[in-house]
Structure 1
């Protein structure tokens, strides 16, 4: 672990050299693939040539190659055999995505990210007793890919793909057993997770906040206790990712009432492992530069163009929002993953996640991103004593009878002392963190005060279940620029 910390310090010191060497290696490795031949990989000698020869790709553009690989064809996007595909919920469109996971991506990216997470944690907390017990992993499921039985390929949530391929030493120190961890039915799975970990000495948890909360609450219910430390007294760290932790922080403090409890954020997805919270006193994420991923960034103002301008690490600016492009050791070439980030430090490169490229509200020129929404929700919760489970928001469009605005559905774990005050603080904070929103709110000229609906407990769970979207990789869309999601939830709630 100490040796690896030195290697991390090396790419922090020489980020551009590490990334350039990596880009050249990826191009050289894939030059004889169908994609490499089509895009003249043999002739690419510079980053400018790379950007000229290889256009920006969405999932839809790469899908014909991926589909052919899933049916058994080889050497299309990447030269080595690919037997695993990470099934993503496809939150930016209705269709599931199947992301290729090569052996190199498993070893050099996903596994390496997991090991680095532990290395960085132990480096920050040298007195950790994490290894005196077991790590609880709350992951997804996987199944045999049936597109072509002769292809012997498999798919599942990325967490399940990782679990199914872990080495034996890693299986020994984790819980629950794989047959429980990889179950498909999430309602049955939560119950089995609770029953099988009830008497384990769990010292760490890795998972998505929402599913972790459900499991903790079920365990507390079974044992009849007030907090999870009465079940797992040696619990010391929660490694979390996938959604912002900010709205859940107060609820976790209530479920795990200990000043010694640590929380470490990660930024990983089906496409790769990108960032780790490497400082105890900061929520910024260190961008991991030696995982077989070459990074580029599209400035916010260009992200919706057909072939947008992209810049490398050397040209990014502090505080500016970018859409992230990746080129990976699984054959994703200049691939837009749909996330937006902003840089909080340029030496070393640290980031914060801003949201999704398609999860925003801009019906009136307010350019509201997920980061704004989560900051405002957290502030309103903090000042009114509220705790939330989930939320979503969408625009209210102008009509002859109504003004424009934003409509929110919020499921509270603990309702605010005053809903009116909650709404007021939500609005005030949005105005503070987003000048475009503030301008549109001026004297209610373009945007009226937000409308907030309090959802009953289980509303979002039932909505996700109805859509067939239960699972670790499926997340409630925080913001949408149309009313597709919110109208569906309002109908479920019986709101006209």
Structure 2
């Protein structure tokens, strides 16, 4: 045991040393990575089309390789799905991360290479573990098991005779975990990767209720569903009664802000919360500070970053900068080039830098999940912070929400309409609405200008919805699963009207 502990401590120090080297040399790391990616992609179909062999500088890269959306890259991805090789990346692609994304409600199939798994997801996972144990030297994390909320895997229907598969990125990662990680996880893959999500939740709860769980990984919305099932099975009120050694929630996918109080109500006060930014396209960032919510950007994990200022996103020739030129406080749309063959690819996320030494970020939202019907440019980051403020000041908790526009007509001004599923409703809904409105104005000057004296935007309207409505909407739209989230903001009434229809049909 002594030798085992010594070996682990040595590996921990090695990981922290390599991570520190990347933190201290981010621009050099990114430059080296870009050079390597271009070299590896030069003989692919995509690389030959854009003459990668002539690219000598990052400026050449910008000039020769176009920025693309999923729709623009899909013809190449489709070839890979159908079994073609050396299209976007030189090594065989056996896995695809399926994401609902924001591309006109179509599923996205993101190539996942062996390099992306080893040099991206798993490397970042080791860094995450090293960071946590360094911050918590008395941790007992390794004395129990991690409960991971994974998705499902499917045979590639585009090429049924191949051995390729697709599924949630969590499922792809879990299927390919190294043996030591599988040993430290629960439940087994037969349960973790079940296709029927409701059956999986039930079996997860039954099995893990008997385990010694020290950490849980997943999206907060689905974790809460699971934890409440476990509490019901054990007839307990606090998860610490069932898992006394549980010390860490690793979460991502949606903002944790609206869920923090819900977790505090059912978890030990000694529980730590750690956010990660791990998407279908790659593992981007990790919360590295005990008392800070910012995420450390990972610069040596197979991903080269570029950024477009959010106000230029719809321009025909937007400014595109790399890491060296970003500014603190500016919101950027993220563009990535990866070791799975995504070349100057817009992932659809927006981030804001909080620091450049080291590079730390906050997730601002989605490029397509916003409300800008009236020129207010409201993003998810604004909405989450305003909801959290209103909840805190009114003693309210929520489980889910979505918002969209109420359009201007001859008889009324436009406004934002919020559908909120409350766990603990406010005693005064008008007070809750006023706080939310004031906070949005404080956070967003464009929103504030449109709200000035109700000149363009009227006061938002908040409509409580029955419990279970959002779950029913997810189920109806085949979005049950760890990688799917309720869209927070949308620039039309699409989701509002769909949810109202469910309420009217009384099918939740």
TM range, smaller chain? over 0.9
- Among 183, 186, 194, which residue is 1:172 paired with? 183
Q: Which residue of 2 aligns with 1:112?
A: 123
Q: Which consecutive residues of structure 2, in runs of 5 or more, have no partner in the other structure?
A: 1-11
- Among 367, 388, 392, which residue is 1:382 paired with? 392
- Among 204, 228, 231, which residue is 2:239 paired with? 228
The Cα shift of 1:414 comes to 1.4
The Cα shift of 1:274 comes to 0.1
Q: Does 1:477 align with 2:477?
A: no
Q: Secondary structure at the match of 2:321?
A: coil
Q: Does 1:352 align with 2:362?
A: yes
Q: Secondary structure at the match of 2:161?
A: helix
Q: Which residue of 2 aligns with 1:85?
A: 96
CA distance in 2: counterparts of 1:488 and 1:146, whole angstroms: 30
Q: Secondary structure at the match of 2:29?
A: helix
The Cα shift of 1:92 comes to 4.0
Q: Does the 8 Å contact 1:137/1:207 carry over to 2? A: yes
Q: Which residue of 2 aligns with 1:253?
A: 264
Q: Does 1:421 align with 2:431?
A: yes
CA distance in 1: counterparts of 2:373 and 2:83, whole angstroms: 44
For 1:60-459, list aligned pairs within 5 A.
60-258=71-269, 260-459=270-469
The Cα shift of 1:146 comes to 1.9
Q: Does the 8 Å contact 1:358/1:480 carry over to 2? A: yes
Residue by residue, what CA displacement relative to the aligned partner does 1:437-475 show, whole Å, maximum 9, x if unpaired?
Answer: 111111111111111110111100000111111111111
TM-score by length of 2: 0.96
The Cα shift of 1:306 comes to 4.0
Q: Does 1:20 align with 2:31?
A: yes
CA distance in 2: counterparts of 1:308 and 1:436, whole angstroms: 21
410-419 or 325-334, larger mean C-alpha shift:
410-419
Q: Which residue of 1 aligns with 2:7?
A: none
The Cα shift of 1:243 comes to 0.3
The Cα shift of 1:311 comes to 0.1
Q: Which residue of 1 aligns with 2:471?
A: 461
Q: Does the 8 Å contact 2:102/2:348 carry over to 1? A: no
Q: Does the 8 Å contact 1:88/1:97 carry over to 2? A: yes
Total equivalences in the alignment: 495
Q: Does 1:41 align with 2:52?
A: yes
The Cα shift of 1:186 comes to 1.3
The Cα shift of 1:393 comes to 0.4
CA distance in 2: counterparts of 1:442 and 1:92, whole angstroms: 34
Q: Does the 8 Å contact 2:406/2:414 carry over to 1? A: yes
Q: Does the 8 Å contact 1:59/1:97 carry over to 2? A: yes
- Among 38, 41, 44, which residue is 1:30 paired with? 41
CA RMSD of aligned residues (A): 1.1
Residue by residue, what CA displacement relative to the aligned partner does 1:255-304 show, whole Å, maximum 9, x if unpaired?
Answer: 1031x110000001000000000000100000000001000000112112
CA distance in 2: counterparts of 1:16 and 1:281, whole angstroms: 26
Residue by residue, what CA displacement relative to the aligned partner does 1:81-109 show, whole Å, maximum 9, x if unpaired?
Answer: 11000001123421000000000001000
Q: Secondary structure at the match of 1:149?
A: coil
Q: Does the 8 Å contact 2:71/2:103 carry over to 1? A: no
TM-score by length of 1: 0.98
The Cα shift of 1:150 comes to 2.5
Q: Secondary structure at the match of 1:7?
A: helix
Q: Does the 8 Å contact 1:55/1:307 carry over to 2? A: no
CA distance in 2: counterparts of 1:60 and 1:376, whole angstroms: 33
CA distance in 2: counterparts of 1:251 and 1:348, whole angstroms: 32
- Among 483, 491, 495, which residue is 2:501 paired with? 491
